[in-house]
Amino acid sequence: MNFNNQRVRFGFGGGLTPAVKYIIIANVAVYFVQMLFLLRTQTGIGSFLGLIPFDVTHHFKLWQLGTYLFLHSETSIFHIFFNMFTLWIFGCEVERWMGTKKFLQYYFLTGIGAGIIYTLIYWNSTNPVIGASGALYGVMVAFAVLFPDRIITLLMFFILPVSLKAKHLVALFIGISLFSGIIGFFGAGDRVAHIAHLGGAAVGFVALRGQALLEKIIRAWKEKQHERLMQAHKLRHQTIREKREEVDRILDRINEVGYDKITDEEKTNLKKASEFLSREDKIW
15 & 72 share domain = yes
pLDDT of residue 114: 96
CATH code at position 132 = 1.20.1540.10
| Bridge partner list, 7 | 151
Q: The domain containing residue 109 runs over which residues?
A: 3-211
Per the prediction, the chain carries an average pLDDT of 84
Domain end point (choices 191, 211, 231): 211
Taking the C-alpha atoms of residue 128 and residue 280, their distance in angstroms, rounded to an integer, is: 69
Task: Say yes or no: 199 and 227 in one domain.
Answer: no
pLDDT at 225 over 60: yes
Same domain, 35 and 132: yes
- Domain final residue pick, 211, 241, 259: 211
Return d(Cα 38, Cα 206) in angstroms, integer. Answer: 39
Pair 196, 262 in one domain = no
Both 192 and 233 in one domain: the answer is no
Asked if residue 232 and residue 102 are part of one domain, the reply reads no
User: Residues 233-253: pLDDT tens digits?
Assistant: 888 888 888 888 888 888 888
Residue 42: the pLDDT is 60
Burial of 133 (0-12, 13-18, 19+ CB in 10 A): buried
The answer on 249 and 154 residing in a single domain is no
Domain boundary among 165, 185, 211: 211
- Both 157 and 269 in one domain: the answer is no
Tell me the whole-structure pTM to 2 decimals: 0.71
What total of structural domains would you count in the chain?
2
